[in-house]
């Protein structure tokens, strides 16, 4: 049994479904409405991801209490998320606590790269799963020192489809796109780009060597999400890193400021209660 959520051990292993099947299924989804009178119709009207949303809300509450600014980094495989994060935590760990949760189907290689950069990191292996979910994040937090008043980076599984729908309790999603990919990715994976607050166009040092029309890509991205901030950088050369780091610093300061005002309110009401009890 898991102490945080009371889940069984089986459930903690994320979505592994071994189902031998044959592909000749002539399934009967053609619907007829002549159901027998003994049936009872029960209205549910519930979001399919309600359970995940519940866990995400719990994570978000914890992050708010401890003043943690949490980013969910999403991209396709090979966009350079891990290299970017390694550079990022190496600099920011001097300023405030940082930690990384990495999701991959297999291996702990990414976590090792982050640890080598000097930040605590834990790897979630999703096995056959294609995304991280809020429940899995809750479990990862049992193994990771929470970066109080700092920043937690969640590096999602490389996949531009599934992670779009799974709220982890983060402050925002950051989508990373590299110039070695197609410039039309924002259109092809519109749900993901629509869900992100910030887009990082990575590997710009390679622009002279690839056919990638930056302006067209940015236009596609804005078409899908006009409110999204876009920064261009190269984690390898360090070009554009300052703007990204400043963006993270601002988020961290805002989260810290919120934590302070929440604590001040608690303190004020505790003082008021004390004054009332003394009187």
Closest CA to 173 of 181, 165, 185, 183: 165
Residue with tokens 């605590």: 120
CA 231 remoteness from chain centre: 18
Candidate segments 66-74, 102-110, 218-226, 257-265, binder of other proteins by CB under 8 A? 218-226
Cα→Cα distances 219→31, 70, 79, 226, Å: 43, 28, 20, 9
Q: Which 3 state secondary structure label does DSSP give 138?
A: helix
124-161 b/e (C-beta count within 10 Å ≥ 16 → b): bbbeebbbbbbbbbbbbbeeeebbebbbbbbbbbbbbe
Binders of other proteins: how many residues, by CB under 8 A?
46
Residue 44 binds other proteins, judged by CB under 8 A: yes
Considering only 12-20, 65-73, 107-115, 248-256, which stretch makes contact with other proteins by CB under 8 A? 12-20
Cβ at position 55, least distance to other proteins in Å: 12
Any contact of residue 220 with other proteins (CB under 8 A)? Answer: yes
- The yes or no reply on residue 223 touching other proteins (CB under 8 A) is yes
> Closest CB to other proteins among 42 and 275?
42
Residue from 38, 94, 211, 215 touching other proteins (CB under 8 A): that is 38
The H or E element that residue 231 is part of is strand 229-232
Query: Interface with other proteins by CB under 8 A: which range of 20-28, 101-109, 250-258, 271-279?
Result: 20-28
Q: Can you tell me whether residue 186 is helix, strand or coil?
A: helix
DSSP bridge partners of 230: 199
Contact status, residue 159 vs residue 133, Cβ threshold 8 Å: no
Q: Is 39 in the site for other proteins (CB under 8 A)?
A: yes
Q: By CB under 8 A, tell whether 131 contacts other proteins.
A: yes
Per-residue contact track with other proteins, 225 to 244, x per CB under 8 A? Answer: xx------------------
| Residue ranges in contact with other proteins by CB under 8 A | 15, 17, 19, 21, 25, 27-29, 31-32, 35, 38-52, 129-131, 133, 161-162, 164-166, 186-187, 190-191, 194, 220, 222-226
């Amino acid at each position: 049994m898991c102490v945080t959520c009371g889940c069984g051990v089986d459930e903690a292993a994320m979505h592994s479904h071994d189902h031998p099947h044959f592909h000749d299924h002539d399934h009967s989804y053609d619907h007829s409405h002549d159901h027998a009178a003994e049936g009872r119709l029960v209205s549910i009207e519930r979001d399919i991801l309600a359970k995940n949303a519940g866990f995400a809300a719990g994570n978000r509450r914890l992050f708010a209490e401890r003043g943690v600014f949490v980013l969910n980094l999403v991209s396709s495989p090979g966009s350079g998320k891990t290299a970017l994060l390694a550079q990022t935590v190496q600099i920011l760990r001097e300023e405030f606590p940082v930690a990384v949760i990495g999701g991959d189907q297999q291996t702990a290689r990414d976590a090792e790269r982050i640890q080598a950069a000097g930040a605590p990191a834990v790897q979630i292996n999703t096995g056959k799963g294609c995304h991280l979910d809020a429940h899995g994040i809750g479990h990862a937090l049992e193994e990771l020192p929470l970066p109080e008043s700092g920043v937690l980076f969640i590096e999602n599984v490389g996949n531009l489809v599934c992670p779009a729908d799974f709220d982890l309790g983060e402050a925002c999603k950051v989508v990373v796109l590299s110039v070695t990919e197609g410039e039309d990715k924002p259109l092809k994976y519109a749900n993901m780009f629509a869900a992100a607050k910030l887009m990082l166009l990575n590997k710009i040092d390679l622009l002279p060597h690839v056919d990638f029309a930056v302006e067209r890509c940015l236009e596609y991205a804005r078409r899908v999400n006009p409110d999204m901030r876009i920064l261009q950088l190269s984690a390898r050369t360090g070009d554009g890193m300052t703007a990204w780091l400043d963006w993270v610093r601002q988020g961290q300061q805002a989260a810290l400021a919120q934590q302070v005002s929440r604590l001040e309110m608690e303190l004020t009401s505790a003082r008021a209660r004390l004054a009332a009890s003394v009187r």
